[in-house]
Amino acid sequence: MNTETLNQNLTATHEAHQTRGAKALFGFWTYIMSDVLLFGAIFASYAVLHDNIFGGPSAKELFSMPFVLVETLVLLASSFTFGLASLHAHHHAEGRNCIPKVVKWLGITFLLGAVFLGMELFEFAKLLEEGNGWQRSGFLSAFFTLVGTHGLHVTAGLIWMGSVTAQVVRHGITERTINKISTLGLFWHFLDIVWIFIFTFVYLMGAI
C-alpha cells in the first residue's frame, strides 16, 4: 500500500468517526427534546396547582430570595466553566496539550454543580423540617416535583461529569472523549436553561 492510499484510508476512518460522533450527538439532542416535553408537562402542572395552598404557606412566605439568587448564579457560573472545559478540549484536538486545563475546568464545574445541588437539598430539608413537605398542599407537591426532577437531572449530570473527567485523565483527549464532553455539554447547558424557567416562574413569580 503506498502512502497516498494509506492517507486516504486514514482520512476516511477519521470522517467515519466524526459521522458517528455527530450522529451520537444528534441522538442525544433528540433525547434532550423529549426531556423538554417532560419538563413542559411538569411546568404545566405547577402552573395549575401553584395557587392551591390549602391553608398552608404560599411561595411568597416560603422562599428566601437572596438564597435563590446565589443558587442561580452558581449554576450559571458552572455552565460558563463547562464551556471553558469544552473550549480547551477542542483546542487540544488542534495539537496543543490542554489536558490539565480541561480537567481543571471540569473539576471546577463539578464543584459548582455540587454546591448548587447542596443548596437545593438544604432548601428541601428546611421546608420538610418546618412541616412544609410535599404532602402539605397541591402547591408544595408541584413544587417538589418540579424542582426535585431538576435536582435529579443535576445529580445524574454530576455522576456523568465525574465519569467523563476520569476518562479524560485516563485516556487523554481523543475522538471519543471529545464527543462525550460535547454530549455532556448539551445536557449541562440544557439544565441551566431549565433552571432559568424555574427561577422565573417559581421563585420570581412567587415573590410578586
Partner 1 sequence: MDTNDFKIIDEEYEAGRLALRSYVTGFVLSIILTLIPYFIVVNKMFGVQSMVVAIVLFGVTQLFVQVVFFLHLHKKFKPKWNMVIFTFTVLIVSILVVGTLWIMSNLNYNTMHRTPATLNEGYIPQ
Which positions touch partner 1 (CB under 8 A)?
A: 15, 18-19, 22-23, 25-26, 29-30, 33-34, 36-37, 40-41, 43-45, 47-48, 65, 69, 72-73, 76-77, 79-80, 83-84, 86-87, 90-91, 93-94, 182, 186, 189, 192-193, 196-197, 199-201, 204-205, 207-208
Q: Residue 136 or 192: which CB sits closer to partner 1?
A: 192
- If you ran DSSP here, which 8-state letter would residue 55 be given? T
Q: How far is the CB of 196 from partner 1 (least distance, A)?
A: 5
Q: Hey, what's the torsion of the CAs at 43, 48, 54, 55, to 10 degrees?
A: 80
- If you ran DSSP here, which 8-state letter would residue 200 be given? I
Q: How far is the CB of 103 from partner 1 (least distance, A)?
A: 18
Q: Residue 6 or 36: which CB sits closer to partner 1?
A: 36
Q: Residue 124 or 199: which CB sits closer to partner 1?
A: 199
Amino acid at the residue 142: A
Q: Residue 133 or 186: which CB sits closer to partner 1?
A: 186
Q: How far is the CB of 113 from partner 1 (least distance, A)?
A: 15
Q: How far is the CB of 162 from partner 1 (least distance, A)?
A: 22
Sign of CA dihedral 156, 153, 25, 108: negative
Q: Residue 61 or 128: which CB sits closer to partner 1?
A: 61
CA-derived radius of gyration, the chain? 21
Q: How far is the CB of 130 from partner 1 (least distance, A)?
A: 22
Q: How far is the CB of 16 from partner 1 (least distance, A)?
A: 10
C-alpha cell at 113: 454543580
The Cβ-side half-sphere exposure at 29, using a 13 Å CA radius, reads 8
Quote the crossing angle between the two packed helices 138-171 and 175-198, to the nearest 10°.
160
Amino acid at the residue 106: L
C-alpha cell at 25: 450527538
Gap between the Cα atoms of 88 and 102, Å rounded: 6
C-alpha cell at 37: 416535553
Q: Residue 10 or 33: which CB sits closer to partner 1?
A: 33
